[in-house]
Structure 1
């Protein structure tokens, strides 16, 4: 053993040892808090899933069971049979078709209209551009409920109540300032030389936008797609205001209608939770499928600009 290695073995640094112990303890505390936080968030979802698979008798057992025995999968289609018996014509597939029509149409409208406006703010110079952009961002501080009554009066005068137009047409007006801001930040990171090269090759402004710029902002574009899908899928207030025919109800409004219809009877929580699981499942699947683009889009859009 050399003199140098012997000196290293005999050397003891209490300050470094104390620092190492502090790091280990801090990590243990952080991970413990994260586990507690995750449990607090997940427990309601686990309970919702558990309740959706119980018999009506098991709902009121004490102590409650986390794992149902027996597991009743038929609650998932029995709940929709119950709803159809209350509102004839409001079948499961009709509800899904209504929901997807509203959600997908509004999602694509928000994505493309926001991208076009963001590209204009990022690349075109015009008088009052920065002022208009600031005013647009300031509209984020206006609560949506504040404009519900004026919007309702406009749609009523237009004769478009009890249609899907009030739920989808506004999406074509780029009504998401946050989406525009995020995409604008992405567009600002793209070198202008790429557009100049495309222009030299004979590409028009529309071709540059769709074939050059949009593919380059794919993470942000998909991120706002996820957010737009989630917002429209969970939109409860607008359908409640504008729709009054049960055959037009989306999923979230159908669940509320089912709950109200059974308010005078014993609560059928197993059916309600089965519907709620089906309401939450597409959002979770979409997020986990696109989370890489979602996180990348938010991070780059927030940092660069």
Structure 2
């Protein structure tokens, strides 16, 4: 009788253990791991090849900036020069106004970036959290302007800025790019991921909507702000058509406009010096990307999530 009772208790215990922790299926030894490792290796190889293909033109540009002018466009291509001509950088710095170009471009890029962060985040908070008639229609109309090419309203915009008397000043570029629909869209998508309970608790504590935006939303949206700042800075730094239309005096030229006039102003273009100027113009963008890539990836990844 005792043996039967012990058997029943043991069987019940084994049954409970099997229900709580069911037996795992037996896999073939070494079946999945080598396959996953091979797929991962192929993925890394594809990424390395893609990165090399993207970086190859930049490598050629840097190497061309250290070549004599007659060795830049040779066939076949000489990737690494036999003699590094460092004087190309001295020549572009002394024989052109590159210092003025960098200063003007930096002033415009920083001013436009700060204004777009301010206007984009503030307008996005209104579209994301405020309730007013026609909000969704107004937001769709505003975001729809992204699809309208700038060339279609370039002339009336130039006439408006001419009437304001800001043409041939840096203010024209600042006013031209101080507002952006893409920034509003990006920030609105991020704000909608922030729980509404935070704002409701702040309202119960007597905080105004301006205070909620400044003290709650802005600190939480650092990744999205960093992404918007990076994109805006790069677009402003690389802008060519805007300065070409509005900036006429050589003292107001930006980096892109100055390099273009540096080329057309020479009868026999020294391509080594030109590529030295192009390399200098790319360096600030590369440094900013390296410093802000973590925030950029995080901001882009979270701006499309809700809830």
TM-score range, shorter chain: 0.7 to 0.9
Structure 1 residue aligned with 2:292: 290
Structure 1 residue aligned with 2:5: none
**C-alpha distance after superposition, 1:269-294 (max 9, x if no partner):** 11111111111111111111011110
Structure 1 residue aligned with 2:51: 38
Aligned equivalent of 2:188, options 184, 190, 195: 184
- Following the alignment from structure 1 to structure 2, what is the Cα–Cα distance between the partners of residues 12 and 202? 61
Structure 1 residue aligned with 2:65: 52
Deviation at 1:62, TM superposition (A): 5.2
Aligned: 1:135 with 2:137: no
Structure 1 residue aligned with 2:160: 154
**C-alpha distance after superposition, 1:226-251 (max 9, x if no partner):** 00000100110000011111110011
- Following the alignment from structure 1 to structure 2, what is the Cα–Cα distance between the partners of residues 32 and 198? 50
Structure 2 residue aligned with 1:245: 249
TM-score, normalised with respect to structure 1: 0.84
Larger Rg: 2
Aligned: 1:116 with 2:122: yes
- Following the alignment from structure 1 to structure 2, what is the Cα–Cα distance between the partners of residues 110 and 217? 14
The 8 Å contact of residues 92 and 98 in structure 2, kept in 1 or not, is answered as no
Deviation at 1:74, TM superposition (A): 2.7
Deviation at 1:22, TM superposition (A): 5.9
Q: 1:26 to 1:196 in 2, by over 3 A?
A: closer
Structure 2 residue aligned with 1:274: 276
Structure 2 residue aligned with 1:196: 200
- Following the alignment from structure 2 to structure 1, what is the Cα–Cα distance between the partners of residues 95 and 131? 58
Moved more, 210-219 or 19-28: 19-28
Moved more, 154-163 or 51-60: 51-60
Q: 1:270 to 1:191 in 2, by over 3 A?
A: same
Moved more, 52-61 or 113-122: 52-61
CA-based RMSD of the aligned residues comes to 2.3
Aligned length: 282
The 8 Å contact of residues 93 and 99 in structure 2, kept in 1 or not, is answered as no
- Following the alignment from structure 2 to structure 1, what is the Cα–Cα distance between the partners of residues 152 and 74? 44
